[in-house]
Structure 1
């Protein structure tokens, strides 16, 4: 009986510490109104590699835990096939896939880790995302905007350095054309629950 008196307060304490935490799972679909592209620059011109959103027609399973203004995610992955990017021409597509080592690593994986709502900015959140490119993983933090209107509209841009993934920017014409190490990922996603 004495043992029960010691365990009971401990159980009560543990049960109330996560009282406002909710664990959920849901499936979402990225609609055809969405856009995703990568922008880069060289010493000659800029380029944009557009992703074919039709490649994202499978439902995406999201596991999350909500606690006040923070949402934590587990196993919530967006997988982009490298072959889904079109940079506007055969030559630049070949260079882009060479840069990403698409023959060995045919996919880019985005894993949503956490979203923290910004109370002082409406419809704005800080997102933590783990990105895997060419077998290397890095975690990035970015500001995203969102609103709900016939689905969730989520937008943002993320600048990253390809050297973070042990990638080397291609050089053309004996080094006369040099591509910048920095690229920018832009997205405007329209997400609906399945």
Structure 2
């Protein structure tokens, strides 16, 4: 019985140690060599809205813990100001901001939730991200590639439907020009640790 009483505090300590696991934190910066764009189509012409990467010059704090091939993140958010997108002209920029309801919802947020490294595919991972557009948040899985050379190079593409966010594609010229509901977010991020 005395031996059990000696071991009991140790067992309690070990059983609760998983609850308060230590999180890792890093500060990263997205370099000007990066690219991020939204691509769309219409029945007349394709369009690209490129993000001005210099708007992402502030350091970003990420919090994570790794267990085997799974990395879980907390409070790891990338904020994109809608006015940082350039679609190539005043008219299409106005349509883009109208679509995103930029006057009410001026930013898009991308929250990294989890990465599953693919051990059977070199430099490939499945990322789970939450995307908030126009006040609505949806979760998506996205296949990404990564390399660690001098800095991290992370790239990927994600197709999504704007109707998932209750957005309505603009129609022009009395409905003769119709923009597709499906858009593609593509990125090549060069990330350095601060």
Compute the TM-score of the two structures, normalised by the length of structure 2.
0.93
DSSP 3-state at the match of 1:188: strand
**How far did 1:170 drift?**
0.3
Aligned residue for 1:147? Answer: 147
DSSP 3-state at the match of 1:42: coil
Aligned residue for 2:156? Answer: 156
Query: In 2, distance between residues paired with 1:12 and 1:119?
Result: 30
| Matches for 1:1-194 after TM superposition, within 5 Å | 5-15=7-17, 23-194=23-194
Query: In 2, distance between residues paired with 1:5 and 1:188?
Result: 53
Query: In 1, distance between residues paired with 2:150 and 2:8?
Result: 52
**How far did 1:8 drift?**
3.4
Runs of 5+ in structure 2 lacking a partner?
Answer: none
DSSP 3-state at the match of 1:180: coil
Superposition RMSD on alpha carbons, in Å?
Answer: 1.6
Query: In 1, distance between residues paired with 2:102 and 2:5?
Result: 61
Query: In 2, distance between residues paired with 1:106 and 1:115?
Result: 28
Answer yes or no: is the 8 Å Cα contact 1:115–1:126 preserved in 2: yes
**How far did 1:149 drift?**
1.1
**How far did 1:68 drift?**
1.0
